[in-house]
Chain A
Amino acid sequence: MFENFKARAETSGNTEVKRFATTALALGFIEEFLEKEEVKDETGSYAVWAKSPILEQFDNEAMAQKFPGLNFKVTRELAKGAKVGITQLKWGLAETGSMAQDSTDVEQRLASALAWIHVAILPTSKIIADIPALMTKMHPKYDKYITLITGASKTADIERVLAIGVHGPERLVIVCVDDLELEGVAS
């Protein structure tokens, strides 16, 4: 499943898929990533991290101190100027390389739709086959606003030439974590 998911996701446009055995390794990668992207407390340079189960796995305060531009509260203004938006996704779909987000909570949408780079955390175990499979897991009765995300924001509206990053992220980094098994409010 993972291999198919990775292959399909990586052909969907400006998307990288990383896989880590443990949450600790994944967090290490995210820290490195924030460093590399020079996240700091300035418009266009900071990061927002929307409510996610993975946040319970480490000391948020400590990480926020390390990266003064890292915010765990997502407002429309913060999201608008964010370079990096981090969210945790609920399901991955192997057939199309898509991820399913429960975006009922507006913060999930703001962080993943407005930032330049969307970092998507996905438990590897949550990769399932396709949309019909997803429909047995997520239902509009419980999830009022579901979004399938496949690749970065793109357009071919000018002369049918592909351009990445129109209204949404121009880069999608998917962080698959093998030991992340959290249920609940995962988005």
Chain B
Amino acid sequence: MKEGMSASIHKALENQNLAGILDRWNYPATRAKAFEGVDFEALRSKIAGIKGEAAGRLDELAETFKKNAEANGIKVFRANSAEAARQYIANLCKEKGVKKIVKSKSMATEEIHLNHFLDEFGIQSDETDLGEWICQLAHQTPSHMVMPALHLTKEEISDLFAEETKQPLDNDIQKLVKVARKAIREKFFEADMGISGANIAIAETGSIVICTNEGNARLVTTLPKVHVALVGLEKLVPNYTDAAPILAALPRNATSQLMTSYASFISAPTLNDDRTMKEVHIVLMDNNRIKMAEDPKFKEALQCIRCAACLNVCPVYRLVTGHVFGDIYTGGIGTILTAWFNELKSAEDIQALCIGCDKCKEICPGKIDIPGLILEIRRRAATKEGLPFIYKSALQVINNRKVFHTMLRTASVLQKPFVKEGFIRHLPMFLSGLSEYRSLPSVAAVPFRDVFKTIKQPKCTEKAAFYAGCALDFVYPDAGVAIVKILNKAGIEVLFPEEQSCCGIPHWGSGSFDMAADAAERNILPLLEGNPEYVVVSCASCTTALKKEWIKILKEQHRESLIPDAKKVASRTYMFTELVDKLIKEKRLTPKEGIELHTLTYHDSCHAKRHVGVFKEPRDALSAAGYEIKEMNECDTCCGMGGSYTLKQPEISMQMLKRKLQNIEETGAEFVTAECPGCLIQLRGGLDKSGSKVKAIHPAELMVDKFK
């Protein structure tokens, strides 16, 4: 990561204005209300279908649009590049003698830096969207795709307005809005040209659809005699009726509204108020969109309807805000769009901000796998330029079981001077940052793989292969012991394949898919030895690898011969609590009666909740085992661990942890549990450092003595 990036992250974390605003909003609750009575899954499948199909034939739709819009009297220009779009608009201004332009928010004009370009010809473009106007006055770029000036405080805005209107102003938001209304209104009447964007472009009818809440788009397209719309090709849909699902999802997802105040379908020039005919130009801009559509992976990103919900829910965006997380297009989807419409280089730094928690994927109305595509950017960068030497070496070490395990065993000895009660609380010198906000776990004196050999087990007909994952094996062996005891109690014999090693998620997460495939290869056959009924995994991330990613990675890396066995592993894999829940429901595990009631709060690991969809089962199992669950606020928001993320982005990681700890404390529960040793390392370390009474513990340890 470049120095500049790390400095801007630090600066953003110091200024928590935007984060505070997004928190007060309570987006998840208001969004849920807006979607009451709407089948979101069906709606977004429809949108993804429409937009996905459209992305497959952009060129054809653009031609149909052009033909139909021109038949209606609109002039349509297809601009292949940003340069061509700028030039067309500049020429038009020259031809019409345009000196003043009013604009309704358009991300595409931001993308091609249109204002700046026109400025060079002495043409003044005034933004009329309040947020955009504020950014323009502040000489800044938008920080949010829907609410562009969200990073500025009312005090800062008041100063900007006071300077612009040459009058002293107070900080009352309602009054500030009225000041803007008055100042901008004159501009609508003075302008020779109105420039807008479009939310949707309908090929069948040659119409564009523009949504605003402020009503500025209606004025921009009504008062000046010339209207120019700059529209990215990805806004095209085939049919008139295709606009309906997009209009149903966009306002609900963007701002929790049922509809924006205004949504206009403009299909032809109309008469101006002086009875002359308005001139309407639509610039359909490619700027690498068709190339994107031809990419089998990134084509999906063209399904975006620009609702910015991925920003609203992103735990990282909420901390670092838009000017760190993007430039023009911000946040998760912004990272991807920047890579294509700007350049891959500028997206490389930004992509490192994604922690891969998948929160955005859950609410994306275009069903875009945003984290997956960001990972693809990472993979391509890693393939092209290679990973940094140290990092690559570390990943190679992890992938070499003998070397890695020897290192861990050595560490358990070397760490001794720093260990107290199972934690490393302070590290010397340059390592001190790692333990600044969070105690680090110590490596266990004896790893689980050695402890396992000493456990006497009953011989049973049913067998389960236990995939422990590195962290449980070497950091939390007690949880492993508890898992074996519980499964034995249900009449299942546990096998521990010695050959098992890292699941490959760290490699996959850093874009090294070949190393991830190596990891899969090393594990698959050992796990099937002895033909076990179940493969039990005690870590959510590893579960994802076994259930989903191995198959995908092997396919990707063309190692097809192993896929049938990978599928066999996947079909037998259970996250530990998922299996316990099943065993309880099958009455093979019977909870004890009359045990003392304890309270716990359940932290949904990102991999558990969103990658493999396990969140109900652990709660059911823990309740059955006698725990009262006190749900925390944002129970499924990432704790900031994210594997190596905590090392690469320590400042962000720690802020996320801080928030998580506060949510945990507020429940008043005695325990916090998570079925991911990574999350447990983060939570346990954070709780220790803050001196909390809450204990972070693996569910297996909580349940071990709760069954008859």
Contacts and interface: CB of A to CB of B under 8 A. Distances in A.
A106 interface: yes
A140 B265 contact: yes
A110 interface: yes
A109 B205 CA distance: 21
Interface in A72-118: 74-76, 80, 95-98, 103-107, 109-110, 113-114
- Greatest chain B CB density within 10 A among A74, A110, A141 is at A141
B222 A106 contact: yes
A145 B184 CA distance: 24
Contact of B173 (A95, A163, A165): A163
B258 A144 contact: no
B267 A145 contact: yes
B256 to A, nearest CB: 10
A90 to B, nearest CB: 13
A155 B270 contact: no
Nearest to B73: A144
A166 B240 contact: no
B21 interface: yes
Nearest to B188: A167
B116 interface: no
A154 interface: yes
Contact of B219 (A141, A151, A167): A167
Contact of A159 (B154, B247, B258): B154
A131 interface: yes
A113 B222 contact: yes
Contact of A156 (B128, B147, B174, B216): B147
B184 A106 contact: no
Contact of A157 (B24, B148, B184, B189): B148
Given A153-B213, A153-B215, A159-B150, A167 B185 contact: yes
B244 interface: yes
A150 B258 contact: yes
B180 A95 contact: no
A150 B259 contact: yes
A56 to B, nearest CB: 22
Contacts of A8: 258
Contacts of B271: 105-106
Interface string B218-248: 1100110000000000000000110110011
Interface in B152-172: 152-154, 157
B71 to A, nearest CB: 10
A160 B150 contact: yes
B531 interface: no
Contacts of B128: 167
A76 B153 contact: no
A12 B247 CA distance: 16
A61 B215 CA distance: 32
Given A106-B273, A158-B176, A12 B259 contact: yes
A109 B189 CA distance: 14
B266 A145 contact: yes
A53 interface: no
Interface stretch (B129-137, B446-454, B615-623): B129-137
A163 B174 contact: yes
Contacts of A144: 72, 266-270
Contact of A76 (B176, B189, B215, B257): B189
B633 interface: no
Contacts of A66: none
A148 B215 CA distance: 11
A114 B219 CA distance: 8
Contact of A146 (B24, B147, B265): B265
B261 A158 contact: no
A131 B248 contact: yes
Nearest to A144: B268
B261 A150 contact: yes
Contacts of A167: 128, 181, 184-185, 188, 214-216, 219
Contacts of B21: 159-160
Q: Is the interface on chain A under 10, 10 to 19, 20 to 34, or 35 or more residues?
A: 35 or more
B88 interface: no
A139 interface: yes
B215 A96 contact: no
- Greatest chain A CB density within 10 A among B218, B247, B266 is at B218
B25 interface: yes
Contacts of B154: 158-159, 161
Contacts of B262: 147-150, 153, 168
A155 B259 contact: no
Interface in B109-151: 128-131, 134, 147-150
A159 B181 CA distance: 17
Contact of B258 (A95, A145, A168): A95
A157 to B, nearest CB: 4
A6 to B, nearest CB: 14
Contacts of B637: none
B330 interface: no
A97 B259 CA distance: 9
A168 B104 CA distance: 14
Contacts of A174: none
A157 B222 contact: no
B202 interface: yes
B101 to A, nearest CB: 16
Contacts of A184: none
B266 A131 contact: no
A167 B268 CA distance: 24
B604 to A, nearest CB: 27
Given A160-B24, A167-B185, A113 B273 contact: no
A145 B180 CA distance: 27
A98 to B, nearest CB: 5
A163 B174 CA distance: 6
B372 to A, nearest CB: 30
Given A163-B173, A166-B214, A148 B259 contact: yes
A131 B272 contact: no
Nearest to B214: A166
A77 to B, nearest CB: 9
B202 A140 contact: yes
Interface in A153-185: 153-161, 163, 165-169
B130 A158 contact: yes
B147 A157 contact: yes
A140 B205 contact: yes
Interface in B636-674: none
A96 B34 CA distance: 10
B255 interface: yes
A175 to B, nearest CB: 19
A123 interface: no
A157 B247 contact: no
Given A106-B270, A159-B153, 9 more contacts: A8-B258, A105-B270, A109-B218, A146-B265, A149-B261, A153-B214, A155-B214, A157-B129, A161-B173
Interface of A: 8, 12-13, 74-76, 80, 95-98, 103-107, 109-110, 113-114, 130-132, 135, 139-141, 143-161, 163, 165-169
25 contacts: A106-B273, A109-B218, A130-B244, A135-B243, A140-B202, A140-B207, A140-B265, A141-B205, A144-B270, A145-B268, A145-B270, A146-B264, A146-B267, A147-B218, A155-B131, A156-B255, A158-B130, A158-B134, A158-B173, A159-B173, A160-B147, A163-B177, A166-B213, A167-B188, A169-B215
List the 8 closest pairs (A to B, CB-CB), nearest first: A168-B215, A157-B131, A140-B267, A144-B268, A163-B177, A140-B205, A166-B214, A150-B259
